[in-house]
């Protein structure tokens, strides 16, 4: 089974309010971005539980659509290519 590793960060608007907040960077790994986004929704709901009103909550795909994702598995390859270009 393939496994992905990402660094996720960004600015969020808390559902049910007009407040915005920063989130991350958080490193997360899972089989794909959709599965990782579900775990991030749990983290966001826990982090901002005091600000969430009534039944408002972060959806499972909120992080997938609204936050910045950086693939961490491709970084070593970039570093090797940069080192080779410098020589």
Q: Are strands 20-30 and 68-71 parallel, antiparallel or unpaired?
A: unpaired
Report the pLDDT averaged over residues 22-38.
92
DSSP strand pairing (4-13 vs 20-30) = antiparallel
Average pLDDT of the segment spanning 28-42: 93
Distances in Å between the alpha carbon of 29 and those of 39, 51, 61, 79, 83? 10, 27, 16, 21, 27
Closest CA to 49 of 60, 37, 58: 58
Indicate the average pLDDT of the chain.
87
What pTM was computed for the model?
0.77
Query: Which band of pLDDT confidence, cut at 50, 70 and 90, is reported for residue 54?
Result: confident
pLDDT, position 75: 63
Comparing 82 with 38, the larger pLDDT belongs to: 38
**What was the pLDDT predicted at 61?**
94
DSSP 48-62: TTTT--TT----TTH
């Amino acid at each position: 089974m393939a496994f992905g590793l990402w660094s996720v960060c960004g600015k969020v608007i808390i559902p049910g309010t007009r407040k915005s907040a920063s989130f991350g960077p958080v490193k997360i790994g899972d089989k794909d971005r959709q599965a990782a986004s579900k775990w991030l929704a749990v983290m966001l709901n826990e982090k901002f539980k005091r600000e969430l009103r009534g039944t408002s909550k972060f959806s499972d795909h909120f992080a997938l659509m609204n936050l910045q994702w950086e693939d961490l598995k491709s970084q070593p390859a970039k570093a090797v290519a940069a080192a080779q270009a410098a020589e």
